[in-house]
């Protein structure tokens, strides 16, 4: 858990960038990511050098003999700010682009560019990042998550994150397993994927009771460090979580860099993050195994309120739903990407639930008739404030099978105020109706006899079909009206006259006193 001291360091670093003329949160995080990556490259190089001395086993070097001056541990000692700026901008960053690393994360450094122009800002940024505990596994993940939380207070260029507590709800409801593959077709900063990783670490552990890794102590000696303890996760599963579980796609390179770093900082050693529009024709050409029947679990909050040219859309998606609307296209593509029996939690605008167009109805029919629509969670319209006031819902569905009953829940209190400030209302960020949703979801068969006036209830497929596949909760929810009795007009007028007489009497008494 990140401490107040670390939060203060990040806040000060953020303020330095703002005062240095860089105010766009995405740019700030990107530049901090670059500098963190530079330091982590040096940390890993030093670790491998010590291991080579100890074991005699050579490794693939990140820095050649004539590139040692490009290492973090070297250039942080440069005293002249102008010289430091020149070295970092004109030598270190080109090194990123050509020798970015030995895993997929390096792919996103190919167009790395330093936008810091003030030497004094670079000096301060390097000093502050050098003081951050990037060697500590637990701390660095929390540290980067806190850095990303800055995006929730500044939605620049339409970029903002899905609220963390909503992500946590979706992950808990789907309950991903340690042997499964998890994807996000519009991953942004990888908030869903990171939360799945955290969920698994919290929920599972090894058959032997502990998961350990070999790490180096301060003297460079290998020691066994306990990662966590428990009774249900094997070392093989742990390796899968770190190296093969997570897959993300996005067509914003800045977001991809941040996503890859976010996963890396949380312990996913080689995250499978790709620059790709998952609705485009090129997706099936580049990633045929992922594009269809590829994943066990998919989480998504895809972009909506947009329209695409049909020429750019992958034809199989259009055969499922003929539309230009991204929110419908993404639901169709997620169904294609899931394995049979795979499941998804996807955020959609409310219009998907009740839209009257042929495309809207077609996607709902596919969810209900050809697959298993498990739940519709109605979200309050303020969830994405201050960036968007659009009303949204969460769809939970399983590929294949057939729908029997759909679990509906009317979420009214997500634990935060629904104004632009989004102030946390409780001690815990996972509060309000969120614990109640989980409890009712896990016992959803018991909701069969619930009154439709409650927040949670089941609706049979036959009733939904009868209402032309409308999935809006208000179609099925019953509202209780209280009978209010009003006094007759004659009584009201009599009471008004008595009040006026009393007021006049008081005024006459006051006048007599004068």
Q: What is the DSSP letter of 161?
A: P
Q: Are residues 128 and 172 in the same domain?
A: no
Helices (H), 78-117: 81-87, 93-98
Alpha-carbon distance values, 86 to 94, 113, 124 (Å) = 12, 13, 15
**235 in a domain, yes or no?**
no
Least confidently predicted of 17-26, 214-223, 412-421, 454-463: 214-223
pLDDT in tens, 162-171: 888 999 999 9
Q: Are residues 416 and 475 in the same domain?
A: yes
Residue 509 structure tokens: 């008494």
**234 in a domain, yes or no?**
no
Segment 36-59 mean pLDDT? 87
Using CA atoms, how far apart are residues 39 and 300, in angstroms rounded to an integer? 32
pLDDT at 2: 67
Q: Is the pLDDT of residue 152 over 70?
A: no
Least confidently predicted of 339-343, 386-390, 468-472: 386-390
**Could you give the number of structural domains in the chain?**
2
Q: Are residues 296 and 427 in the same domain?
A: yes
**196 in a domain, yes or no?**
no
Task: Find, among 335, 304, 348, the residue nearest to 398 by Cα.
Answer: 335
**19 in a domain, yes or no?**
yes
Give me the residues paired with residue 273 across strands.
248
Query: What CATH number corresponds to the domain at position 133?
Result: 1.20.1260
Q: Are residues 308 and 393 in the same domain?
A: yes
pLDDT in tens, 204-230: 864 444 555 555 554 555 555 555 455
**377 in a domain, yes or no?**
yes
Task: Give 261: exposed, middle or buried? Use CB within 10 Å, 0-12, 13-18, 19+.
Answer: buried
pLDDT band at 402 (very low <50, low <70, confident <90, very high): confident
pLDDT at 493: 86
Q: Is the pLDDT of residue 433 over 90?
A: yes
Alpha-carbon distance values, 417 to 79, 325, 327, 422, 482 (Å) = 48, 31, 27, 5, 27
74-81: Cβ within 8 A, 24+ apart: 76/126, 76/127, 76/130, 81/119, 81/120, 81/122, 81/123
Query: What CATH number corresponds to the domain at position 425?
Result: 3.40.50.150
**356 in a domain, yes or no?**
yes
Query: CB atoms < 10 A from the CB of 476, how many?
Result: 18
Using CA atoms, how far apart are residues 302 and 372, in angstroms rounded to an integer? 21
pLDDT band at 155 (very low <50, low <70, confident <90, very high): very low
pLDDT band at 478 (very low <50, low <70, confident <90, very high): confident
- Quote the mean pLDDT of the chain: 85
**264 in a domain, yes or no?**
no
pLDDT at 158: 40
3-state SS assignment for residue 452: coil
pLDDT at 216: 54
Q: Are residues 76 and 174 in the same domain?
A: no
Q: Is the pLDDT of residue 364 over 90?
A: yes
Domain span at residue 54 reads: 4-145
Q: Is the pLDDT of residue 467 over 80?
A: yes
Residue 467 vs residue 217, higher pLDDT:
467
- Torsion angle in degrees (nearest 10) through CA of 227, 230, 234, 239: -30
pTM: 0.81
pLDDT at 174: 96
Helices (H), 137-207: 137-148, 164-174, 191-203
The answer to whether the bond into 386 is cis (omega within 30° of 0) is yes
pLDDT band at 469 (very low <50, low <70, confident <90, very high): very high
Q: Are residues 35 and 174 in the same domain?
A: no
Cα angle 239, 143, 253 (rounded to 5 degrees) comes to: 75
Alpha-carbon distance values, 384 to 107, 389, 419, 423 (Å) = 31, 6, 10, 13
Residue 166 structure tokens: 């909503």
Residue 127 vs residue 139, higher pLDDT:
127
**278 in a domain, yes or no?**
no
pLDDT in tens, 294-326: 999 999 998 876 778 888 899 999 999 999 999
Alpha-carbon distance values, 91 to 64, 65, 115 (Å) = 13, 15, 14
pLDDT at 206: 47
pLDDT at 197: 92
Q: Are residues 312 and 443 in the same domain?
A: yes
Task: Find, among 1, 53, 442, 443, the residue nearest to 216 by Cα.
Answer: 53
Segment 53-73 mean pLDDT? 89
pLDDT at 311: 85
For a pLDDT cut of 70, what percent of the chain falls above it? 87
pLDDT at 55: 85
Using CA atoms, how far apart are residues 411 and 313, in angstroms rounded to an integer? 34
Provide the pairing of β-strand 246-250 with 405-410.
unpaired
Q: Is the pLDDT of residue 133 over 80?
A: yes
Rg, C-alpha atoms of the chain: 28
Q: Are residues 13 and 56 in the same domain?
A: yes
């Amino acid at each position: 858990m990140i401490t107040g001291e670390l939060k203060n360091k990040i806040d000060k670093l953020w303020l330095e960038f703002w005062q240095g003329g860089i105010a766009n949160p995405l740019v700030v995080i990107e530049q901090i990511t670059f500098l963190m990556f530079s330091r982590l490259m040096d940390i890993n190089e030093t670790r491998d050098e010590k291991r080579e001395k100890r074991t005699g086993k050579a490794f693939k070097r990140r820095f050649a003999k004539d590139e040692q001056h490009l290492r973090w541990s070297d250039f942080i000692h440069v005293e002249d700010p102008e010289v430091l700026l020149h070295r970092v901008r004109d030598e270190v960053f080109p090194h990123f682009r050509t020798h970015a690393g030995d895993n997929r994360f390096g792919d996103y450094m190919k167009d790395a560019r330093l936008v810091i122009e003030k030497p004094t800002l670079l000096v301060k940024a390097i000093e502050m990042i050098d003081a951050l505990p990037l060697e500590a596994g637990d701390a660095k993940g929390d540290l980067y998550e806190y850095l990303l939380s800055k995006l929730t207070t500044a939605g620049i260029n339409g970029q903002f994150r899905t609220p963390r507590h909503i992500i946590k709800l979706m992950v808990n409801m789907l309950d991903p397993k340690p042997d499964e593959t998890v994807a996000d077709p519009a991953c942004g900063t990888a908030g869903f994927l990171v939360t799945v990783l955290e969920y698994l670490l919290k929920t599972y552990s090894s058959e032997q009771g502990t998961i350990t890794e070999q790490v180096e102590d301060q003297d460079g000696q290998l020691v066994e460090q306990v990662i966590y303890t428990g009774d249900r996760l094997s070392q093989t599963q742990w390796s899968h979580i770190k190296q093969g579980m997570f897959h993300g796609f996005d067509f914003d390179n800045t977001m991809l860099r941040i996503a890859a770093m976010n996963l890396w900082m949380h312990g996913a050693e080689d995250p499978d993050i790709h620059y790709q529009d998952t609705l485009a024709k090129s997706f099936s050409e580049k990633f045929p195994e992922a594009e269809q029947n590829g994943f066990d679990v998919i989480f998504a909050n895809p972009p909506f309120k947009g329209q695409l040219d049909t020429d750019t859309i992958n034809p199989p998606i259009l055969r499922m739903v003929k539309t230009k609307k991204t929110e419908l296209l993404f639901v169709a593509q997620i169904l294609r990407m899931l394995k049979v029996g795979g499941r998804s939690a996807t955020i959609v605008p409310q219009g998907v639930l009740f839209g009257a167009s042929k495309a809207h109805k077609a996607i709902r029919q596919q969810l209900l008739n050809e697959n298993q629509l498990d739940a519709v969670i109605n979200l309050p319209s303020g969830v994405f404030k201050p960036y968007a006031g659009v009303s949204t819902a969460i769809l939970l569905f399983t590929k294949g099978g057939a729908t029997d009953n759909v679990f509906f829940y009317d979420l009214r209190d997500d634990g935060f105020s629904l104004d632009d400030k989004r102030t946390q209302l409780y001690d815990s960020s996972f509060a309000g109706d969120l614990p109640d949703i989980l409890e009712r979801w896990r016992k959803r068969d018991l909701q069969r006899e619930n009154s439709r006036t409650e927040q949670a209830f089941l609706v049979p497929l036959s009733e939904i079909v009868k209402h032309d596949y409308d999935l809006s909760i208000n179609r099925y929810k019953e509202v209780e009206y209280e009978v209010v009795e009003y006094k007759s007009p004659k009584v009201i007028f009599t009471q008004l006259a008595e009040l006026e007489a009393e007021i006049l009497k008081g005024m006459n008494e006051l006048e007599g006193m004068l």
